[in-house]
Structure formats: structure tokens, C-alpha cells
Amino acid sequence: MTSLADGGAVTASRGRLLWLALVVSLAVNAFFIGTAVWWATSAHMLTPAQRFQQIVRELNLSDDQRDAFQQFVIAARRGMRQLHDSNEPLLGKVWKELNKPQPDQDMIAKLVDQATDNRRAYQRTMTAALTQFLTDLNPDQRAEFIGLTQRKHDPLAWRLRQLVAP
């Protein structure tokens, strides 16, 4: 009977080891997943000033170029604010109209066209502002800036692209 009891103790011990291994594995996986999530989102947590400084450092801008870049960023922020202020009421009217049992499709189309025209005007303004800034850069800096905007999966590049075409 003792050999049977010893076998039960070994089985119970193996069960505890299995549970312990499972808990340790779960803790390690949670740590790695948490680290990956933090790493992926920490780049998005840069303030606008930090993003600005990162671009200035990467491009090695002179004081005059830094001022030109700052003017571009100010123009972009102002333009984005104006675009939002002009399109938000239009899109609110679209949603209000869509909420009706019989929405007026012509009215919706006109409102969408107005919002699209506002966006197009913003993009033209930003393209002109960006072109002006780029003329202040030397060819290597210009190529570096364009390369910076083309990086895949880079939150800074995404933000730069959004300045011109949100």
C-alpha cells in the first residue's frame, strides 16, 4: 500500500510542477507582451516639441533653417485648426441629415463637396509652405527630410505626412 501512496505523491508533485511551470510561463509572456506594447506606443508619446527637436537634430538644421521649420510647423498647426473649424460644422450637418428618415442626398453631397474643397485648399497651402521650407535646406538635408517622411511604421514620419495631407 505504501508504493501506491508514493505513486499518488509523485503524481501530485508533478501536477504542482506543471501548474508552477504554467504560471511562470504566463508571467514571462505577460512581461514580454507588456514590454512590446510599451515599446510600440512610447514613440507615439513624444510631445510636439520633442518631435520638433528630433527633426532638427536629425537634419542638423542651422538657426535660420530651424526658424524656417518652426514657421512651417506653425503654419501647419494653424491650417489644421482652420480646417477642423471649417469642416466640423459641415460634417455635423451631414450626420444630422443622415439621421433623418429621408436624408436629402443633394444637401449631403454639397456639404461633402464643401468639406473636400476646404481640405484641398489646406493641402495646397501646406504644399506651398513645405516647398518654401524645403528651399531653405541644402540638397542633402532636403533628401534626408524627404527620406524621413517616407519611413514605414515610424510615428514621426506619419506625423510629418499628416501635416501636408491629414
Q: How many CA atoms lie within 13 A of 12 on its CB side?
A: 6
Same domain membership, residue 102 and residue 125: yes
Asked if residue 100 and residue 23 are part of one domain, the reply reads no
| Same domain for 64 and 31 | no
Contacts of 9 (CB under 8 A, 6+ apart): none
Q: Could you tell me the residue range of the domain that residue 29 belongs to?
A: 2-44
d(CA 23, CA 16): 11
- DSSP result, 83-106: HHHHHHHHHHHHHHHHTSSS--HH
Give the pLDDT confidence of 27-57 residue by residue, as tens digits.
Answer: 777 777 877 776 666 655 667 677 777 878 8
The pLDDT of residue 25: 76
- Same domain, yes or no: 33 and 51: no
Q: Which tens digit of pLDDT belongs to each residue from 116-156?
A: 999 999 989 988 998 999 999 999 999 988 887 777 666 66
Tell me the chain's radius of gyration from C-alpha atoms: 28
pTM of the complete model: 0.61
Residues 100 and 147 in one domain: yes
Is 95 in contact with 119 (CB distance < 8 Å)? no
| Helix 48-59 / helix 139-149 crossing angle, nearest 10 deg | 140
Considering the domain architecture, whether residues 15 and 91 belong to the same structural domain is answered as: no
Domain shared by 20 and 65, yes or no: no
Q: CA-CA distance, 127 to 99, in Å (whole number)? A: 36
Number of structural domains found in the chain: 2
Do 83 and 127 lie in one domain? The reply is yes
Task: Give the Å distances, CA to CA, from 38 to 45, 46, 107.
Answer: 10, 13, 45
Q: State which of 44, 61, 77 marks the end of a domain.
A: 44
Q: Let me know whether 91 and 57 are in one domain.
A: yes
C-alpha cell at 124: 495646397
How far, CA to CA in Å, does 43 sit from each of 30, 32, 50, 108, 165? 21, 18, 11, 39, 21
Co-location of 27 and 69 in the same domain: no
State whether 28 and 53 are in the same domain.
no
pLDDT for 162: 64
